[in-house]
Amino acid sequence: MKKVLVLGASGGMGYSIVKELAQRGINVAAFARGKEKLQKLFQDNARVTINSGDVFDLESLKEASAGVDTIFQAMSIPYSEWEQDLHIVMKNILETAKHANAKLVLVDNIYAYGKNPGHLVTEDTPKKPHTKKGNIRLQLETMVKQSNLPFLIAHFPDFYGPNATNTILNYTLEGVIKNKKTLFVGDKKISREYIFTPDGAKALVELAFLDSAYGQNWNIPGSGVITGDEIVDILCEHTGYSKKVGTVSKGMVKFLGLFDKNMREVVEMFYLTEDPVVLDGGKLERAIKSIPKTPYQDGVKQTIDYMLRSLT
């Protein structure tokens, strides 16, 4: 890789991917809608070129892809727009990759796997989505595989990390850093998997350097599982936060969905907090030898420190 386009560069995983690539001496075109945020994040990085634009504007995407050999797709849109717009977004990305003659590296979630099959999910686990959003993700995967482009698809658990604001865990962290009452989404006693975004970016970039990684799906796991109670303990220890952390239940989400279309879309994904899907990283470890795994204790502290610096 010599020059790369990162879509969704101002988001949690996109930000970490840009940082990881630039640290390796790769020139990066950072693409997102908000120019001001991109400048705030990357203006001091000589390896990064700012490209503000809209993924729905094909010509804007093609212009941003000039001279790149790899495209990382890390952008997202609100749940409420998935059914109508996500296929359009993917179509534009595929056309842009063909136009640029570039490889395509896709950041994906675990929705297409469906319910917990009762074991660690491997890349060979059949995808049996039972939700609308899971079916959409599987349809997009099919589009990519039928495109005849060199691609790799990486499945991640829930994100947390620097600049990862649009995440389920960030909802809890924001209250803590403001020393306000906060809530944890789901049962705090159930163990779930999260991935620290710098770890995910490092593993994904390692894969992207391997010609043999293309044409395949990859699971990129976090640092094991952790309960909400354990996360709260880390937060309290690091910040001195002493307020009780409440719980967001499925019933609460349903109620909020009466007034908020995005919250209505969250309800069907609540199963992931009740019987979590956990990824097996065996295939990834065989490919890149060592999977980056920042302990939760360190990752949560680094995330909090980043958020506190962003307030100043």
pLDDT in tens, 145-176: 999 999 999 999 999 999 999 898 998 999 99
The beta strand positions in the chain, using DSSP E, are 3-7, 27-32, 48-52, 70-73, 103-108, 151-155, 158-160, 183-185, 192-196, 216-219, 225-226, 246-248
Output the CA–CA distances (angstroms, integers) from residue 125 to 129, 130, 266, 280, in the order listed.
12, 15, 24, 10
pLDDT at 121: 97
Helix axes 296-311, 228-239, angle to 10 degrees: 50
Confidence of residue 59 (pLDDT cuts 50, 70, 90): very high
- Domains of the chain by start residue, with CATH: 3-164+193-224+276-294 (3.40.50.720)
Cβ neighbour number for residue 86 with a 10 Å cutoff: 18
DSSP, collapsed to helix, strand or coil, labels residue 144 as: helix
Average confidence score pLDDT of the chain: 95
Residue 259 has pLDDT above 80, yes or no: no
What average pLDDT score do residues 126-131 get?
Answer: 96
Give per-residue pLDDT as tens, 170-219. Answer: 989 999 999 999 999 999 999 999 999 999 999 999 999 999 999 999 99
